A = this chain, B = another copy of it.
Amino acid sequence: MISIVLVEPEGDMNIGMIARSMMNMDVENLVLVSPRTNHLSENARAFAVHAVPILEKASVVFSLDEALRGCDVSLAVTRRIGQWRQQDVFLPHWREVMSPYAGKKIALVFGREKSGLTNDEISRCDLVLTIPSSDVFPSLNLAQAVMTVLYEIYRTRWKSSHPSPYHTVKREEFQGMLAMIIETLETMGYFKTVPRERLEAYLRKLLYRMAPDETSAMIVKNLFRRIQGRLMALEKALERTDSSTPKDRP
Which residues of A are interface residues toward B (Cβ below 8 A)?
A: 17, 20-21, 23-26, 47, 49-51, 84-86, 89-93, 96-97, 131-134, 136-141, 143-144, 147-148, 151-152, 154-155, 158-159, 162, 164-165, 167, 212-213, 215-216, 219
Contacts and interface: CB of A to CB of B under 8 A. Distances in A.
Contacts of A147: 140, 144, 147-148
B144 A92 contact: no
A21 B141 contact: yes
The 9 A-B pairs of least Cβ separation, nearest first, read: A93-B165, A23-B137, A144-B147, A86-B213, A26-B134, A50-B137, A24-B133, A132-B158, A92-B155
Contacts of A143: 143-144
A85 B134 contact: no
A23 B139 CA distance: 10
A140 B147 CA distance: 10
A216 B144 contact: no
A146 to B, nearest CB: 9
A97 B134 contact: no
Number of copies: 2
A239 to B, nearest CB: 37
Contact of A136 (B23, B89, B167, B219): B23
Contacts of A47: 141
Contact of A90 (B165, B213, B219): B165
Please indicate which of the listed interface residues A24, A51, A212, A215 has the most CB atoms of chain B within 10 Å of its own CB.
A24
A105 to B, nearest CB: 20
Contacts of A141: 17, 20-21, 47
B162 A92 contact: yes
Contacts of A167: 86
A1 to B, nearest CB: 15
A25 B51 CA distance: 27
B148 A51 contact: no
Contact of A25 (B49, B93, B134, B158): B134
